[in-house]
Amino acid sequence: MLHRFEPGRHGAPEYGPELDLEVDVAVLGAGAGGSAAAANLVARGLRVAVLEEGSHWQPSQFRPQSVWAFRHLYQGRGTRAAHGNGVLVLPGGRGVGGSTLINSAICFRTPPSVLARWRDESGCGRFTDGWMESCFARIWDTLGVSVNPPAVQGDNNRVFKRGADALGLRGDWLARAAPGCVGCGSCQQGCEVGAKRSADRTFLGEAVDSGLCGVYADCRVDGVETTGGRVDTLRGRTMNPTDDTAAGTFRVRARHFVLAGGAVGTPRFLLQNGLYGAPAGEHLRVHPTTGMIGRFATDIKPWTGVTQGYYVDQWERGFLLQVYNAPPDQAWVQLALPPAEALQWMADLRRCGMAGVVVHDEDSVGRVTRGGLEYHLGDADRRVLMEGLRTTADVFFAAGADAVVAGVHGAGAVPKGADLRRAFADDTSPWDLALYAAHPLGTCRMGRRADDSVVDADGKVWGWDNLHIADASVFPTSLGVNPQVTTYAVGLTVGAAVAERAA
């Protein structure tokens, strides 16, 4: 039975009724941000404990089935959603590796204009061009970022490229953290061939290999003990992974604490424990998305090939189009059609391609509360989303589709030649949109003042001497591109800042 700190990977079966750890730095959450922070903390010789409520996973344990994945790898068993002027499904990962266990491995550098804005308007002085370049180089190397060869891309990606090329739209194959990808299309259920380089297998692996880091899975952090402006202890429950019932308790004493529970988990922890009030939880940004399915005359088999391998760059218009692959059970949920018609589309699914609009949200309003999630799609963001859907339809039709169905209730199946401005109208109610987003950001934003932000330029929580945040919650604004690379860079940056203080 394990009672005290030991480096290595640990899980529920090893724990006694009480786990009592003492380290230099305790990290809450083993996702992209927490793993990168841990790598930079051990690099300075610090002893680190990473606490993660989900379990450790080996690639061979993954099952390419939505129900299995929701049960084991997703927050809220796949039911996490925000409510406001519509319903927005907001999945997130749970397990050692966090959301990188279930992401599509897409890698984008932080856009230079966004970085400049963060420095100029929010005082993010550590994110210099030179520092970020060094982070990107390290991330590219550690994650093995590359474009997968044409042979594994599959027709779902190829067909969309064909349509974009026909319209002269700028696009490209997506760079991904999956150098050995075989194109099985199951990234969001976990990569069972072990090709995807998720955080647990890369940055966290480095930290564990140093002999200074212990990763404690099945440990849910609930509470905190403080003295004056310092955190002394994190405490919580060890859990039975089969049913999440409490098995025992743990506490972790440390000199420094890093929160990396993600843009939902971190502000919720601050609010629930009275560590910070507003604006913690405010300014939720998500990159709202709605998908579209295009039907062709010949087989595409969208469930084969790279899960998300191609994109069309419409950054200036406020959106990207990205191919995706929903397994049949999820495609069924997306078909906003009367039952008989939906069944016919399911019968034709092998002849369908799929792509979605990723909106650079600007005027939507969202927040994380102690127990809930709110999101109100703004008018401008909705217009951008509808414009993106019309462009997606144009691409599918240019590629040879005879009809499309989008996540727009009431639009029905839209045949080639139909009036797209009418089918996907700018004034569509958010209630009629099947909104989805996988990029929660910005709920503990970095800034210059305690009343307008939650952390300073080092990622330190205002008013607390030894409490930092190292995850996607610290982004000062929306990003506009898939966020894992920027989150890893935040983790490396805050890890370095904490290491300087701890030295």
Ligand X SMILES: Cc1cc2nc3c(=O)[nH]c(=O)nc-3n(C[C@H](O)[C@H](O)[C@H](O)COP(=O)(O)OP(=O)(O)OC[C@H]3O[C@@H](n4cnc5c(N)ncnc54)[C@H](O)[C@@H]3O)c2cc1C
Q: Which stretch binds ligand X (CB under 6 A): 25-33, 157-165, 446-454, 493-501?
A: 25-33
Binding flag, residue 97, ligand SF4 (CB under 6 A): no
Instruction: Specify whether the CB–CB gap between 62 and 227 falls below 8 A.
Output: no
Q: Hey, how many other C-beta atoms are within 10 angstroms of the C-beta on 185?
A: 26
Instruction: Map tokens 């266990």 to a residue.
Output: 101
195 binds, among ligand SF4, ligand X, none (CB under 5 to 8 A by kind): ligand SF4
Binding flag, residue 106, ligand X (CB under 6 A): yes
* Cα 368 to Cα 443: distance, rounded to the nearest angstrom: 7
Rounded to 5 degrees, φ, ψ at 406 are: -115, 170
Q: By CB under 6 A, name the one of 73, 101, 164, 181 that touches ligand SF4.
A: 181
Q: By CB under 6 A, name the one of 53, 218, 282, 387 that touches ligand X.
A: 53
Binding flag, residue 98, ligand X (CB under 6 A): yes
State how far Cα 110 lies from the chain centre. 15
Binding flag, residue 202, ligand X (CB under 6 A): no
182 binds, among ligand X, ligand SF4, none (CB under 5 to 8 A by kind): ligand SF4
Q: Which stretch binds ligand X (CB under 6 A): 91-99, 243-251, 379-387, 422-430?
A: 91-99
Instruction: Specify whether the CB–CB gap between 198 and 191 falls below 8 A.
Output: yes
Binding flag, residue 280, ligand X (CB under 6 A): no
Instruction: Map tokens 């939902």 to a residue.
Output: 264
| Residue 218 CB, nearest approach to ligand X (Å) | 9
Beta-bridged to residue 172, according to DSSP, are 311
Per DSSP, the residues of 451-472 read: TT-SB-TTSBBTT-SSEEE-SG
Instruction: Specify whether the CB–CB gap between 171 and 147 falls below 8 A.
Output: no
98 binds, among ligand SF4, ligand X, none (CB under 5 to 8 A by kind): ligand X
Binding flag, residue 185, ligand SF4 (CB under 6 A): yes
Q: Which residues contact 178 (CB under 8 A, 6 or more apart)?
A: 105, 144, 148, 187, 191, 195, 196, 197, 306
| Residue 355 CB, nearest approach to ligand SF4 (Å) | 16
Binding flag, residue 93, ligand SF4 (CB under 6 A): no
Q: Between 105 and 354, whose beta carbon lies closer to ligand SF4?
A: 105
100 binds, among ligand X, ligand SF4, none (CB under 5 to 8 A by kind): ligand X
Q: Which residue is at the shortest CB distance from ligand X?
A: 31
State how far Cα 437 lies from the chain centre. 9
3-state DSSP assignment of residue 341 = helix
3-state DSSP assignment of residue 88 = strand
* Cα 192 to Cα 305: distance, rounded to the nearest angstrom: 15
* Cα 72 to Cα 260: distance, rounded to the nearest angstrom: 20
Q: Tell me whether the omega of the peptide bond preceding residue 339 falls within 30 degrees of 0, making it cis.
A: no
Q: Which stretch binds ligand X (CB under 6 A): 87-95, 250-258, 352-360, 370-378?
A: 87-95
Binding flag, residue 102, ligand SF4 (CB under 6 A): no
Binding flag, residue 91, ligand X (CB under 6 A): yes
Q: Which stretch binds ligand X (CB under 6 A): 260-268, 365-373, 406-414, 444-452?
A: 260-268
* Cα 227 to Cα 242: distance, rounded to the nearest angstrom: 36
Q: Which stretch binds ligand SF4 (CB under 6 A): 23-31, 184-192, 217-225, 353-361?
A: 184-192
Binding flag, residue 261, ligand X (CB under 6 A): yes
State the pairing for strand pair 289-295/352-359: antiparallel
Binding flag, residue 29, ligand X (CB under 6 A): yes
Binding flag, residue 196, ligand SF4 (CB under 6 A): yes
Binding flag, residue 493, ligand SF4 (CB under 6 A): no
Sign of the torsion formed by the C-alpha atoms of 63, 66, 68 and 73: positive
Q: Give contact residues for ligand SF4 (rule: CB under 6 A).
A: 105, 178, 181-187, 191, 193, 195-196, 306-307
Q: Give contact residues for ligand X (rule: CB under 6 A).
A: 28-34, 51-54, 91-95, 98-100, 102-106, 188, 220-221, 260-263, 265, 269, 438-439, 471-472, 482-484, 487
